[in-house]
Amino acid sequence: MRNERQLAPWLVGATIEAVGKVSPRHPERGRAKQHRMPRSERRQQLLQACLVAFARDGLEMTTMDSIATTAGVSKPLVYRHFHNRHEALEAVVERESERLLERLGIVPGETRQPSFEALTTTFFTFAAESPASFRLLFQLVDAAAGAAKRRVDRLRFQVGRVLVLALLASADARESERLPREAAESAWLAAIVSSIVEGVAGGVGRGEDPSRRAGALCRLIRPEGLVAALLEASPMEPTAPTRERGRRV
């Protein structure tokens, strides 16, 4: 087969090179290859797009199309990572939950116990610096159902439990010793404390000093009050006469 010089002898040098680049027989010739992102990196890109889309449009209005548009990729590419928007929601909720827990130091193997003020400062900082994450976890998903809601419920208990333990750690030792061993694991108490902290965090604006809010909250929630609430809610041990009467009956 004759080459370009034989077909058109008047084409020389750079002109032949240019013809070769646009030749329909070799459309890929001369084009830069598209960068293929590693799967793990691509998934993180898509999760970030999910976060932005869900926080911006809400759970019901977010679609696979909107996620793809937000990420700047094709919809088939999104489907390679998530079967549907519910799976995408579960994935981004899991990622943001773990990110918050890591910032709070609530990770397996971690033995240190931060103070209540340090924990709330970190929580408020997270809300101020990551408003989309806070809105998704504690406002949007909280009103939904399914696996994402169950994950947020578990997150709320994890955070609330650590907050309760931090408060009890600063309580008077003599009062704390009166508490039943399982008192700190009370789900209802963890829910109350975490809901208070979430409510305050929701009002923290960008640029505001989170430590000021945390200090105010520490003055509001006192460990003595927490111990008193636990003692009042804990079932009382039966007295000796009552046990005796029970045996006679």
- Phi, psi (rounded to 5 degrees) for 23: -60, 130
Residue type (1 letter), 5: R
Fold of 91-234: Tetracycline Repressor; domain 2 (1.10.357)
CA distance 144 to 137: 10
Give 175's contacts (C-beta < 8 A, 6+ positions apart).
224, 227
The token duo for 228 is 């008193």
Q: Is the CATH number of domain 36-82 3.40.50.300?
A: no
Q: What's the N-to-C CA distance of the chain in angstroms?
A: 111
Per residue in 89-104, pLDDT tens? Answer: 999 999 999 999 999 9
The token duo for 117 is 């003020």
Residue 194 near residue 156, CB atoms below 8 Å? yes
- Phi, psi (rounded to 5 degrees) for 247: -75, -35
CATH 1.10.10.60 residue ranges in the chain? 36-82
Give 172's contacts (C-beta < 8 A, 6+ positions apart).
223, 224, 227
CATH 1.10.357 residue ranges in the chain? 91-234
pLDDT (tens place) for every residue of the chain, 249 residues total = 455 445 445 444 544 444 444 444 444 444 444 457 888 899 999 999 999 999 999 999 999 999 999 999 999 999 999 999 999 999 999 999 999 999 999 887 666 788 999 999 999 999 999 999 999 999 999 878 799 999 999 999 999 999 988 888 877 666 666 666 666 667 888 888 999 999 999 888 777 889 999 999 888 888 777 777 777 766 544 334 444 444 443
